[in-house]
Amino acid sequence: MPWSINGYVVVAVLPLLIEVPLALFAWRRRDVPAAFPLALLSLALVEWSFFYALELGSTSAEWIYFFVRLEYIGISLVAPFFFLLAARHTGNVTWTAPRRIALLLLVPAVSILIVWTPLSTWMWTSMDVEQAGTQIFFISEHGWWFWVHTAYAYVLNLIAAWILMRSLVRYPNLYRGQAASLLIAVAMPWVGNLLYLTGLNPVPRLDLTPFMFGISTASMAFGIFRFRLIDLMPIASDMVLENMSDGVIVVDAQSRVVDINPVAASWLGQPPGGIRGKSTQEIFAPWPQVLTRFRQVDSGQLSFEVETGEETRYFEVRVSPLHGGRFMPSVGRVFIVRDVSDERRLRAELETANRYQQVLNDLLHLAQSTRSVQSFLDAALDVLLSVSWLSVESKGGVFLMEGEPPHLALKVNRNLAEPLQSLCARVPVGRCLCGMAAESGQIQFAAGVDHRHEIVYPGMPAHGHYNIPLKRGERVLGVLVLYLPAGHESQPDEIGFLQVAADTIATLIEQKRADEVVRRHA
């Protein structure tokens, strides 16, 4: 390969002294979001600079054409990689999805393909070399695809510059320094490229673009070590908004929605795009409590509930004013909405568990403070009938299994009518609701006096029942009966508690009986 070192080659190689270490540094830290596109950008710059240096040192037209084609790999990739760096650095992740990246690389891929095929006439209608003194330069007439390729690169760089300019305005000083270093990095090569394309180049026929890479890479290196370019990244507010678990609704001074995140939109049953621009009167139609409370109020809090099918969901909303600046009037309001259904449910479950535990603790205390099964059952019935959160009347009784064949014997009762005390003194297993509970081992519930209520007496008032078997394993020791107001609806929480309480009473009955046996034989 005919090649020689000259001053142009030396100057073209200088940017590599920064670009290569920068590429290695970024590649080693590629797990950091902004480092990977920075590594790709640096590699593209290295490729372009390296082969441009080889082009400037070549003395053969064939080798010059060959190196120019190789340069177009880096030339084509610099703009999309810089765009990805700007987007990733500022948190605009939309364009960092694999499908979007493939679209970004479509035009560069076509450009690289064209320069290596007979279609290269689309890029250059003619290719030649020209000697100026001792230096040989590549010259060409540009084809139509060259302008497509160039326009595409400039558009990407302008968009990237706009993204970074927003960072300069929106983010704190540290992030502004990062954005400024990236803006300088992208501006310098394209200043050189504009001089080359417009013929204003102080050195005719010499493309200054790769030489400007020295300034670009120096600027990026300064951003890395002075402003921690790839370690600290600003987080875009729209990314925060999109990923918040709370609903966020921003309205202007005319109560029109200017922004809403997907969570809030889903609760309101519409896509975000269908809500923006609408008035709060429209969008808060599913939440009339919010509309009424905050129609003319700039700040405050509210808890409300919404029926969604068979489920009730609970929400808390906090409203704050948005001010345009210090001492400026409010320019709108922001609604922060939280779904507290799970918290409410958990709190209710904890409260229920505490209530359960309190009653069970009382039953255990009774087992220690009473001597006989009879006295324990008498006190335990009073405890259950006094539970304020149970919808029971102050009426009930406890049966124990006795005799052969086994039957239920009424041991203690509260406020049972005298006819019932006589009729229910002995209840065969399987008869009436108490007998059914003993036979099946399952809780029997009745909202009123139905066909299962076989034991009746004249003038018996309407009432309901919970008949709960007292079981030890699969063995039924007795039945607990509690009276309910007529028409009462069975509640899962009530049934769950009564089953636990009945099992505890059955266990304590067994312990009491064992204690009595020990005392008799002591």
Residue 216, pLDDT above cutoff 50: yes
Backbone φ and ψ for 516, nearest 5 degrees, come out as: -65, -40
Residues 321-343: pLDDT tens digits?
877 555 556 678 888 888 888 88
Average pLDDT estimate for 431-435: 91
Structure confidence at residue 236 as a pLDDT band (50, 70, 90)? very low
Structure confidence at residue 49 as a pLDDT band (50, 70, 90)? confident
Confidence at residue 444, expressed as pLDDT on a 0 to 100 scale: 93
Average pLDDT for the chain: 81
Structure confidence at residue 172 as a pLDDT band (50, 70, 90)? very low
Confidence at residue 182, expressed as pLDDT on a 0 to 100 scale: 64
Confidence at residue 477, expressed as pLDDT on a 0 to 100 scale: 92
Average pLDDT estimate for 176-203: 65
Contact 416, 483 (CB under 8 A): no
SS3 of 470-520: EEECCEEEEEEEEEECCCCCCCHHHHHHHHHHHHHHHHHHHHHHHHHHHHH
- Of residues 352 and 70, more confidence is placed in 70
Confidence at residue 359, expressed as pLDDT on a 0 to 100 scale: 85
Residue 500, pLDDT above cutoff 70: yes
Average pLDDT estimate for 125-146: 85
Q: Could you give all domains of the chain from N- to C-terminal order, each with its CATH number?
A: 7-227 (1.20.1070.10), 244-339 (3.30.450.20), 346-520 (3.30.450.40)
- Of residues 244 and 481, more confidence is placed in 481
Measured between alpha carbons, how far is 132 from 435 in angstroms, rounded to an integer?
Answer: 116
Q: Long-range CB contacts (< 8 A, 24+ apart) of 120-123? A: 120/69, 122/146, 123/72, 123/149
Measured between alpha carbons, how far is 85 from 38 in angstroms, rounded to an integer?
Answer: 6
What is the percent of the chain with per-residue pLDDT over 90, rounded to a whole number?
18
Contacts of 24 (CB under 8 A, 6+ apart): none
